[in-house]
Amino acid sequence: MQKGLYILLLSMVILSFIAVLHHPTPYQKDSAPSQQPVQAAVSAEAAVSAQAQTTQPQEEPAIVLTGALQKGESFSEALQRVLLHDKQADELAEKITQKLSRVVNLRKSRPGEAFALVMDYSGKLIRCTYEKNPFEIYTMEPDEDENNLIIAKEDITLERHVVKLSGAIEGSLFQAFAKLGEGERLTMAFADIFASRIDFNNDLKHGDRFELLLEKYYKNGQFVGYGRILSAKFQGAKEKHSAYYFKPSDAQKGNYYDETGKTLGTAFLKSPLPIFKVTSGFTMHRNHPVLGGDRPHQGIDLAAPVGTPVMAVADGVVSFAGWKNGYGNTLSIRHPGGYETQYAHLSRFADGIKTGVHVTQKQVVARVGMTGIATGPHLDYRIAENGVLKNPLSVKFRSVFALSGHALNQFHAQQLYLAQLMETPEPQKLVLVETLTTKGPPDGWNG
């Protein structure tokens, strides 16, 4: 009996064990997918991380509006035009204009001056840039409170190229420089250096040669203008002239000197118009082109377009500025040493030119015209010494200044350096490149 009961109990234990093997317990049922909560936690962490990345500060999307002043348009009007004239835009334009007008004379703004507005999509200003010229660029940005604008003048990065040029005269000096791809401004600057030594109206001959070492400035790869001519040479049929720019260490400004250290400039220029053609010379017998008959012409006529600038040939004081019979608009200047010069048939006088005003050599005092008795636009130029009219082309003047001592030694050292840069047979060659940062036109800027 007991033995049978024992067998029965053993059988029940075995059957229970088999049931457990075929039917998992609640614990086993839960433990099978035990990795799922871990995976969910990882996914949640990744989501939080992704959300954190998307909520990190990013640059606001922006609208860029660009424009330029049109003829007869003010800066404020140009802003309003670009901003499409709504109340918010007009207020912004007024705010920008008021701020900029504190550092820029906007009444002298010219067509083509450019600006750019950077704004967010709500219409708030991020930045405004105004470019008056390649060397005058201003940036305005809101302050932290966005109530005021902070304005700053931008630094300008330029490339300074030192270039050697050379050529020959086949027609005019203008034509020779144009053949090298250079502009009239450089031609005039070259002629101005030798204005007291060479009469470019009358002295040029076919085959005359010239060389110069000059600065050319580039911004963002684009040519923006000429700098200073560092050295120049002119080889004529009879004479050779050299010029070297030099600024003594104790001087406020530099000058051009010949190879001996004497200034090329003299007390008087040979002509108030460095290049233009002589159509009538100094003579006591000339058949007058309008009045007829044999009459003296005690000056020289220089043909030039109406409006061409007329320079004072020397420092002096204006002794007459007005209408003078057949001479038309006439200007007379009294100079030291008993000299007086006269400029006739002018279209107009320069601003501020009147009797008693002091003028300096090379100052533009008037413009070429054909007032009075004249057959065409030209300048009648005359010079008198102690009341006696003389041929302006034959008067000899001395150099103003000569270097000496330590300044002369410095000059010769620089002269040697410039001569080495020019030692190349090529008619055009880039000999030096350097980068500079400036807030305005570089020293020696010639435009």
CATH code of the domain in which 68 resides: 3.10.450.350
- The CA-CA-CA angle for residues 443, 444, 445, to 5°, reads 95
Is residue 40 a part of any domain in this protein?
no
In a domain, 447, yes or no: no
> Is-contact 333 340, C-beta < 8 A?
yes
Rg of the chain over CA atoms, in angstroms? 41
Number of domains in the chain: 3
Count of C-beta atoms within a 10 Å radius of residue 205: 9
**pTM of the predicted structure, to 2 decimals:** 0.64
**Cβ contact 258:241 at 8 Å:** yes
Residue 38 domain-assigned (yes or no): no
Question: Does residue 99 sit within a domain?
Answer: yes
Residues 189 and 128 placed together within one structural domain of the fold:
no
Q: Is residue 249 part of a domain?
A: yes
Burial of 264 from C-beta contacts in 10 A (0-12 / 13-18 / 19+): buried
Domain residue limits at 118: 62-154
Residue whose structure tokens are 């088999």? 18
Q: Which residues on neighbouring strands pair with residue 35, listed in sequence order?
A: none
C-alpha to C-alpha distance for 316 and 388, rounded to whole angstroms: 18
pLDDT in tens, the chain (447 residues): 444 544 444 455 444 444 444 444 333 333 333 333 333 333 333 333 434 444 444 455 578 889 999 998 888 888 888 888 677 778 888 889 889 989 888 888 899 999 998 988 878 889 999 999 888 899 999 988 777 889 999 999 999 999 999 999 998 888 999 999 998 899 989 988 988 788 777 778 899 999 999 999 999 999 999 999 999 999 988 789 999 999 988 777 888 999 999 888 777 888 898 777 777 766 655 555 554 556 677 888 888 899 999 999 988 999 999 999 888 999 999 988 788 999 999 999 999 999 999 999 889 999 999 999 888 898 999 999 888 888 888 787 766 778 889 999 999 999 999 988 888 888 889 999 999 998 888 888 988
Those residues with Cβ within 8 angstroms of residue 349's Cβ, 6 or more apart along the chain or in another chain: 321, 329, 331, 365, 366, 367
Same domain, 143 and 245: no
Q: Is residue 6 part of a domain?
A: no
> 405 and 261 share a domain?
yes
Specify whether 317 is located in the same domain as 415. no
Q: Is residue 219 part of a domain?
A: yes
Sheet strands side by side (includes 114-120): 62-68, 114-120, 125-133, 136-142, 149-153
